[in-house]
Structure 1
Amino acid sequence: MNGTIITDIHSDTDLIQLIKKIEHLKKEVDTFRPLSPDVERRIFQKFRLDWNFHSNAIEGNRLTYGETRAFLLQGITAKGKPFKDYVDIKGHNEAIDYLADVIRQEYTITEDAIREIHKILLVESYPISAMTLDGNPVVKQVAIGQYKTMPNHVLTSTGETHYYAMPEEVSAKMGDLMQWYRHELAKGELHTLILATAFHHEFVNIHPFDDGNGRMARLLMNLILMQGGYVPVIIHQEDRQAYYAALESADVGELETFTFFIGERLIDSMTLYVRGAKGERIDDLGDIDKRIALLKKKFQLEHVVGAERTVETQKVFFENFLKPFSEILLTQLKKFEVFFNSSEYGVQYLKYDNELGRFYVISSQDITPLWDYLVDAYIINYKYSELITNK
């Protein structure tokens, strides 16, 4: 362990500056603590949803963000997706619940707890394809909550074989890792970011379980961060290759590269936390695409397809797309107000009158729909006047 740990960050100027930025953000985060229950629920629902989706997507889970959200928040499943993908999401979500209990109880993680998390994460045993040390393919049954009994080496991006700890080495190496962790935690000299990333890297190097090691490493890394007063890091599936490359750099002794990679994502998470604590939107523009995907799936479901347009189906459409899209649109349009002397906006709801054969308009200053009218369309009018010019 000691050979890969950064014990003197003063040798890396970029990492020093990153940690300073993290500490500056943490002070801001701490000013909002404790959050009100409603605000905390909103922020951590976002973290939890992103964490569940991306950590599983990195490992090949085929559920979309929208399908993941519909399953976790509403228990809705989509046709044509493997049952195991839903099992993986469920297990990961329950593993996060377990971490939350550990944090509340201020419990120091142990090997027994790690094996229990693995059991919760994987839910049930299943067969996986593997290869023996001499390259022969084999199918083995995953043992949940138990250390591996067969090698689980993999091919790296360069085509070379990366060898993890052999099964007979796992108990000793995991014991060493936990002893190192408790020792460094007690000393309090390593920054929490470094402690968490070093633990993540060494855990991956050991690869103690038949399957689920990547998800476990990210869960345990975030547990260390959260117990240290930080927020969970979300590694997005789009960053998968950069994530693996940073891990490979750590394999050759450059843990700084991996620590910097994780540190940047920690800044992203802390920034999101601050936005949420201030009451600002925490859905990014990309989430609109995810919401559209969810919306499409909702209307493809058996209980919705073929149904007439009702208040219920209209509300699904409005809540999952029109409302968040409109709020983001208005936020962006508002930024241009500094260039004009005045501005105003209004919303018009259009309802078709079958008897009269024409539309009538209901005007409002609110983007909340008028359900009783079951409107057919709505229009946002945003007007600027008198462009400010230098005379």
Structure 2
Amino acid sequence: MNILVITISVLLSVICVLLALLQHYYFINKLYKRPSIRYEEPVFEDLIPSDRNNKYNYNYPLQQVEDQNSDRILSQLNSVLVSQPKEDTIRYLLKNDKATGTDSEVYNTLQAAIAFKLSGKSHKALKLFEHAAAIAPENADVLNRYGEFLEQQHHDIVAADELYFKALSHTPDHKAALINRQRTAPVVEGLDYNLFKLIDERNDFLKNRIKLDAFETVKKQAYYLHIYHTVGIEGNTMTVEQLRYLLETGQVVSGKSIIEHNEVLGLEKAMQYIKLLVKADYIGLEQILGIHRRVMGHVDPITSGVFRDEKVFVGNHVPPPHEDVPDLMESYVQWLNSEDAQSMHPVRYAALAHYKLVDIHPFTDGNGRTSRLIMNLILLKAGYPPVMVLKEQREKYYDALKTANMGDVRPFVRFVAQCTLQILDMYIYGTIRSIEGSIDEEDKNIIKFE
């Protein structure tokens, strides 16, 4: 009897130990395992040079120029980018946060706009709707009516959907806006899906084009164009040729401030660091701080790579208190490496990663550049080229961020998607122009820049 009891006790002890080991294994591997971004092999990281000793060689001497660009391909690429539509049908709404018109003025303007619409004078109606939205950006009736006009007269269901959302953000029980958005939201979701599909088609096409010799020439110029627009959004006034002169020769550019020089040098270092991170399995706080340290290291060595310790304001948006930043960044990193985030379309994932970091605003300065670099790190990991937000798109870029702060992040995701498509078009255009007559009819149907 005693032997049986001892045997059973030993068996129970062994089972308990095995169960404890299994629980430990599950806890360690499931809860603390760092998931990696599981996408295809990166193909575009070579768009970023590894170091200054591996810079591009030009077959003409570098000269410091002031206001003109003598490089034909660089000029062509930039002209393609800036020729993209810069007007936003609802830009007037996003400039103002508070009403500037009296109730009677708003009402009279709205009624006049509706009257012109009914009489078939769409151009005049559009001007009045824009004016009404500008002086009453929180008036749900104005926003809803303006959305209906854009949807019915201009067939711009995306802009209309954004207006319906904004109307509901100010007046959640607005019946007409609720009905309208129930109709438009699924349609817009389908359009966004088609946009991602188009991006993937262009990206696959570009992967075949990069095997051509002509792509090397385009790549050389696009790298400097990327730096030019990225620092330009923050107010840097260097031309493409001037910053190229700085990076190639290490010589100062006459008439430009020390800060402008340091912004260019810091961004270059950060882009080189991004290239090193492309094949890493995990994006953590160390990597994020490392990106910021390089972005701002030349400009402000003391605060570079360090979370802010003060309250900041971004327009009318107030980011979280600085005491909350460490915990918020821990949560951000967990989301960044989560399966939920990585299961999204890479462009959506990259855009949300950008917005979430800007929303936390963890640094005193350099948040935008750091966020855009993390966005491009994700895109590079997923096999897409890095995206640049043009200087000319600065207003639309900030407007989309402002809309996201109001609760609708889709316009910002859509903006990043359009920027991605724009960059793909730029690279494809550059390779096509560099090899005149070598493209077949099927390729011409992919992209047309005539």
| TM-score over 0.5 (shorter chain) | yes
Match of residue 218 from structure 1: 372
Q: 1:26 to 1:125 in 2, by over 3 A?
A: closer
* Paired AA for residue 123 in structure 1: G
For the aligned residue pairs, the C-alpha RMSD in angstroms reads 2.5
- For 1:88, which of 244, 263, 269 is the aligned residue? 263
Match of residue 162 from structure 1: 317
- For 2:294, which of 105, 108, 120 is the aligned residue? 120
Query: Aligned runs of 1:1-391 on 2, under 5 Å?
Result: 12-32=189-209, 35=211, 39=214, 41-103=216-278, 105-124=279-298, 126=300, 143-155=303-315, 161-184=316-339, 188-278=342-432, 280=434
User: Following the alignment from structure 1 to structure 2, what is the Cα–Cα distance between the partners of residues 62 and 195?
Assistant: 31
Structure 1 residues 92-146: Cα deviation after superposition (integer angstroms, max 9, x where no partner): 011101111112x3442211011111111112464xxxxxxxxxxxxxx951111
Give ranges in structure 2 of 5+ residues lacking alignment: 1-184, 437-449
* Paired AA for residue 146 in structure 1: V
Q: 1:61 to 1:87 in 2, by over 3 A?
A: same
Match of residue 13 from structure 2: none
Q: Shift of residue 277 of structure 1?
A: 4.4
Partner SS for 2:330: helix
User: Following the alignment from structure 1 to structure 2, what is the Cα–Cα distance between the partners of residues 208 and 71?
Assistant: 30
Partner SS for 1:12: helix
User: Following the alignment from structure 1 to structure 2, what is the Cα–Cα distance between the partners of residues 190 and 87?
Assistant: 36
Paired residues of 1:9 and 1:16 also in contact (CA < 8 A): no
Paired residues of 1:57 and 1:237 also in contact (CA < 8 A): yes
Greater CA deviation, 41-50 or 222-231? 41-50
* Paired AA for residue 151 in structure 1: K
Q: 1:124 to 1:67 in 2, by over 3 A?
A: closer
* Paired AA for residue 309 in structure 2: T
Partner SS for 1:154: coil
Give ranges in structure 1 of 5+ residues lacking alignment: 1-7, 127-140, 156-160, 283-334, 336-391
* Paired AA for residue 338 in structure 2: H
Q: 1:70 to 1:125 in 2, by over 3 A?
A: closer
Q: Shift of residue 279 of structure 1?
A: 6.4
User: Following the alignment from structure 1 to structure 2, what is the Cα–Cα distance between the partners of residues 77 and 42?
Assistant: 26
Q: Shift of residue 267 of structure 1?
A: 0.8
Q: Decide which structure has the larger Cα Rg and report it.
A: 2
| Structure with higher strand content | 1
Greater CA deviation, 265-274 or 195-204? 265-274
Q: How many residues align?
A: 253
Paired residues of 2:262 and 2:299 also in contact (CA < 8 A): no
Partner SS for 1:162: coil
Scaled by the length of structure 2, the TM-score of the pair is 0.52
* Paired AA for residue 81 in structure 1: K
* Paired AA for residue 224 in structure 1: I
* Paired AA for residue 31 in structure 1: N
User: Following the alignment from structure 2 to structure 1, what is the Cα–Cα distance between the partners of residues 264 and 330?
Assistant: 29
User: Following the alignment from structure 2 to structure 1, what is the Cα–Cα distance between the partners of residues 223 and 313?
Assistant: 30
User: Following the alignment from structure 1 to structure 2, what is the Cα–Cα distance between the partners of residues 58 and 70?
Assistant: 20
User: Following the alignment from structure 2 to structure 1, what is the Cα–Cα distance between the partners of residues 250 and 342?
Assistant: 43
Paired residues of 2:317 and 2:405 also in contact (CA < 8 A): no
User: Following the alignment from structure 1 to structure 2, what is the Cα–Cα distance between the partners of residues 23 and 199?
Assistant: 20
* Paired AA for residue 195 in structure 2: L
Q: Shift of residue 32 of structure 1?
A: 3.6
* Paired AA for residue 268 in structure 2: N
User: Following the alignment from structure 1 to structure 2, what is the Cα–Cα distance between the partners of residues 64 and 125?
Assistant: 19
Scaled by the length of structure 1, the TM-score of the pair is 0.60
| Structure with higher helix content | 2
Q: Shift of residue 280 of structure 1?
A: 2.3
Paired residues of 2:319 and 2:361 also in contact (CA < 8 A): yes
Partner SS for 2:337: helix
Q: Shift of residue 253 of structure 1?
A: 2.1
Q: Shift of residue 241 of structure 1?
A: 0.4
Paired residues of 1:88 and 1:122 also in contact (CA < 8 A): yes
Task: Compare relative contact order (CA 8 Å, sep 6+) and give the higher one, 1 or 2.
Answer: 2
Partner SS for 1:67: helix
Q: 1:12 to 1:142 in 2, by over 3 A?
A: farther
User: Following the alignment from structure 2 to structure 1, what is the Cα–Cα distance between the partners of residues 297 and 271?
Assistant: 13
